Amino acid sequence: MADQSLPQDRPPLDAGAGSKTAASDASAQGISRRLLLGTAGATGLALGAAGGAVGYAARPADATPLTSLGAEEVMFHGKHQPGILQGLQARGHLIAFDLAAGAGRREAAALMRRWSDTARRLMAGEPTAHGDTDVARDAGPSSLTITFGFGHSFFARTGLERQRPVALDPLPDFSSDHLDKARSNGDLWVQIGANDALVAFHALRALQKDTGSAVRVRWQMNGFNRSPGATAHPMTARNLMGQIDGTRNPKPTDSDFDARIFVPENGEPAWMANGSYAVVRRIRMLLDDWEKLSVKQQEEVIGRRKSDGAPLSGGTETTAMDLEKTDEQGNPLVPLNAHARISRPDQNGGAAMLRRPFSYHDGIDADGVPDAGLLFICWQADPLRGFVPVQRKLDRGDALSTFIRHEASGLFAVPGGAAPGEYVGQKLLEG
């Protein structure tokens, strides 16, 4: 995990995904209709569990007046798909589908065409083309993003095995895995994020209605983050363990950011140009066990102070961690098995990934303990150079592993953004 903190007063990123804010024009043009229709988002926050701290895209969006949240719009068309480079959103839905019996490449292409049109309309704050439910009638776009990906099994079911990327090979097994196969993988994957819960649900329902008989739902997961404007000033998010989490990660200003996160223009296969690979993990936090620890013990597990996120070696949240610094007895101030130490890129051959998660809480399970944790989502140009090396290192001795459990997993190829007049995945399905 990179330890350079991101400036906490930077505006939301606009890097090819086309983010824009209508509120910025209010002083010149008066209060817009979308500004008046702005609504507050859902509650929550997020962590980057498997990779430790989350980064640029995984920090809260800069604080804005709640009345402006509904006006914020992200463009559907762009170099990259939306939902990768934007700031954290207050509400999220992850859903995977399998193609129905008898459905193949033709049905998949028709579905992606319908989905892309619906996503474009909804992200602009417009109703769907047919049978809109009016759930989000009174709201603006609320930073809605919709992202589409293809799983390993999709290619055999559509006769496109030769187009399946090598980077989409199944992830290796890890000792911390307790995976439920019914809630893992899938032919198609959709990520929905918004700063208003009803806007996010409206998008989820619209996409489900679009499926017709082409696919069936494999699994669905729902998450949340802290609402933009909920804190007195922009700050790094806290996770459900109460730790500040979001100090380290690749930043768009890094010279090698695009090379680490996105498939290059001349990459293989050609249809993945400007795309990325998403690793999705449902990571349960064993909160009852975690909360029995003292604050000092929790800090030693993570390697950072709970109050402000500063490394145990001293300084502030943005201070580089000193892995060699010791106490009077010669013990490392940052324990050798601390999560923040083990998951650092410089401890993993430079492995890096862009984390953009949602927290989740699915009630109390049969044993009477919280079913809560992290919907971990990380982006990289190649999972074998991003997620896998870090997770292998964590698997061998991360102090945090005692308090988390990986319960579901998926890996998806997410192609680049669609140009105007195109749909997502068109180069694959019609190439």
Q: Which residues are catalytic?
A: 245
Residue 22: φ, ψ to 5°: -65, -30
Tokens linked to 77: 């068309």
